[in-house]
């Protein structure tokens, strides 16, 4: 099994996570030109499961022995298997809300509010569960990120309220509300996985009943897949925008549109896989917090590429600039907290 053995490499892995978690939404934006987000999401979930399985059978099986993927799965306790599976269910509920928020509010709003809030709450939850790092720097960085989230929320509000119609104002409330609920749920999924993993990768064998990052990720992905039959079915029949749809619509899509969704899942899966590997050296709180810096990446995609703030008043631009400065400073403090 491959594992991360130094802090600098762990930080690099978390930065890659940040780009993966902040970029998968582009595939939804691409598919969204002709494809409902609920249909896209089925392929996204398939992509996550495929990456988790591939990662376990390759990097997670290097060297064989008791740390290898299949051997580790066989000895995992029911409690740990259940915790990782539950983490997948919690994540899926949050991520479907995020996808809905992206569909009506865009990446530059859904990610900073939803994932930014998840970062703040998630760092607290994971630090309490496994204290590691300088708390003053860690929570000082979190405080700056709270300020960044508020700047983005106000920028979105300024943009939407500058429209002359009531539809824009309604979108403000719906987009932010979905993002906030997403953020609260998203804050807890990582702890369900991290608590199941044995982080002492230098030992001859994992603690009895504990899992490696690779086996924990796979069980987590199965939780996402299984819960999608309930959560996405609800989203399809009670959409936040547009008419209700059925599963039959999924089979009307061509190969290209399905591959776009699977690609989105593979990108997110890569970020999650290496983040769990990094957690052994960086600690769960720092690893999760840095990964959720995805907010910055997604906001840049939304603002610079998708032009989601085109036509917004100057105030919105200044608030978004403040958001980036605060986020970068906050992330820098989180990195320093682990040294």
What is the Cα–Cα distance from 106 to 123, expressed in whole angstroms? Answer: 25
Q: Computed from CA positions of residues 121, 123, 124, 129, in that sequence, does the dihedral angle turn out positive or negative?
A: positive
Tally Cβ neighbours within 10 Å of residue 202: 8
DSSP, collapsed to helix, strand or coil, labels residue 211 as: strand
CB 35 within 8 A of CB 257: yes
pTM score, two decimals? 0.90
Q: Using one digit for the tens of pLDDT, what is the confidence trace for 276-302?
A: 999 999 999 999 989 988 888 888 898
Is residue 79 pLDDT above 70, yes or no? Answer: yes
What average pLDDT score do residues 8-33 get? 93
What is the Cα–Cα distance from 270 to 113, expressed in whole angstroms? Answer: 23
Is residue 206 pLDDT above 60, yes or no? Answer: yes
What average pLDDT score do residues 133-158 get? 88
DSSP one-letter code for 201: T
CA-to-CA dists, residue 329 to 121, 140, 320, 332, angstroms: 18, 10, 14, 5
* pLDDT reported for residue 168: 52
* pLDDT reported for residue 165: 45
Mean predicted lDDT score pLDDT of the chain: 91
Q: What percent of the chain has pLDDT over 70?
A: 97
């Amino acid at each position: 099994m491959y594992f991360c053995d130094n802090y600098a490499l762990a930080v690099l892995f978390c930065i890659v996570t940040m780009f993966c978690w902040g970029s998968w939404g582009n595939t939804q934006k691409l598919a969204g030109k002709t494809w409902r987000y609920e249909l896209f999401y089925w392929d996204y979930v398939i992509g996550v499961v495929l990456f988790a399985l591939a990662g376990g059978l390759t990097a997670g099986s290097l060297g064989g022995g008791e740390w290898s993927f299949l051997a580790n799965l066989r000895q995992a306790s029911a409690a740990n298997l259940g915790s990782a599976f539950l983490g997948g269910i919690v994540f899926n509920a949050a991520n479907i809300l995020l996808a809905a928020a992206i569909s009506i509010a865009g990446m530059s709003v859904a990610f900073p509010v939803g994932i930014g809030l998840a970062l703040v709450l998630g760092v607290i939850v994971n630090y309490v569960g496994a204290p590691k790092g300088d708390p003053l720097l860690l929570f000082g960085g979190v405080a700056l990120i709270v300020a960044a989230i508020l700047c983005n929320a106000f920028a979105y509000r300024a943009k939407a309220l500058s429209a002359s119609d009531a539809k824009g104002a309604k979108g403000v409330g719906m987009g932010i509300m979905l993002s906030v609920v997403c953020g609260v749920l998203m804050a807890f999924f990582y702890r369900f996985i991290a608590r199941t993993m044995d982080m002492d990768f230098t030992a001859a064998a994992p603690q009895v009943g504990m899992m490696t990052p690779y086996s924990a990720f796979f069980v987590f992905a199965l939780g996402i897949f299984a819960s999608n039959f309930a959560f996405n079915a609800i989203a399809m029949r009670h959409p936040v925008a547009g008419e209700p749809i059925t599963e039959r619509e999924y089979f009307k899509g061509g190969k290209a549109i399905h591959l776009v969704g699977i690609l989105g899942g593979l990108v997110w899966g890569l970020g999650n896989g290496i983040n769990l590997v990094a957690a052994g050296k960086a600690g769960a709180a720092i690893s999760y917090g840095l990964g959720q810096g995805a907010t910055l990446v997604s906001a840049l995609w939304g603002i610079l590429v998708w032009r989601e703030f085109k036509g917004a008043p100057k105030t919105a631009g200044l608030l978004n600039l403040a958001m980036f400065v605060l986020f970068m400073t906050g992330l820098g403090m989180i990195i320093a907290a682990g040294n």
